Amino acid sequence: EAGVTQSPTHLIKTRGQQATLRCSPISGHTSVYWYQQALGLGLQFLLWYDEGEERNRGNFPPRFSGRQFPNYSSELNVNALELEDSALYLCASSPTLFTDTQYFGPGTRLTVL
């Protein structure tokens, strides 16, 4: 069974640009979660989607947005990039919104110059 996949592996942008990160959950999983992990810091919850709907959102500005597609894959968009957005962005999936365990992808390393 394939795990959670994320693309791209690395992304380099300049301040003010937009970044789009993609995530494919494990087959059959309906819930997708996004986290930000800045260097040396803990996981900060960003967004949670299930069945195409946004279920919860962390304390991030509106320029962080996303969506979930009918095939349950997801996209995270970050507009007007700032230097402090540089981080590892992790996507996780779970079979349903009621399932406790999350399965993480390898992450996308976003660098903002």
Partner 1 sequence: SQKIEQNSEALNIQEGKTATLTCNYTNYSPAYLQWYRQDPGRGPVFLLLIRENEKEKRKERLKVTFDTTLKQSLFHITASQPADSATYLCALRSNDYKLSFGAGTTVTVRA
- Residues making contact with partner 1 (CB under 8 A): 4, 33, 41-43, 45, 48, 55-56, 58, 88, 90, 92, 97, 100-107, 109
Alpha carbons 108 and 17: distance in angstroms, whole number = 17
Alpha carbons 14 and 104: distance in angstroms, whole number = 27
Sort strands 44-50 and 10-13 into parallel, antiparallel or unpaired: unpaired
CB of 15 to partner 1, least distance (A): 24
Nearest CB to partner 1, comparing residues 1 and 70: 1
- Do the Cβ atoms of 109 and 91 come closer than 8 Å? no
- Do the Cβ atoms of 47 and 58 come closer than 8 Å? yes
Burial of 94 (0-12, 13-18, 19+ CB in 10 A): buried
CB of 47 to partner 1, least distance (A): 10
CB of 91 to partner 1, least distance (A): 8
Nearest CB to partner 1, comparing residues 71 and 101: 101
CB of 106 to partner 1, least distance (A): 6
Nearest CB to partner 1, comparing residues 30 and 103: 103
Nearest CB to partner 1, comparing residues 38 and 83: 38
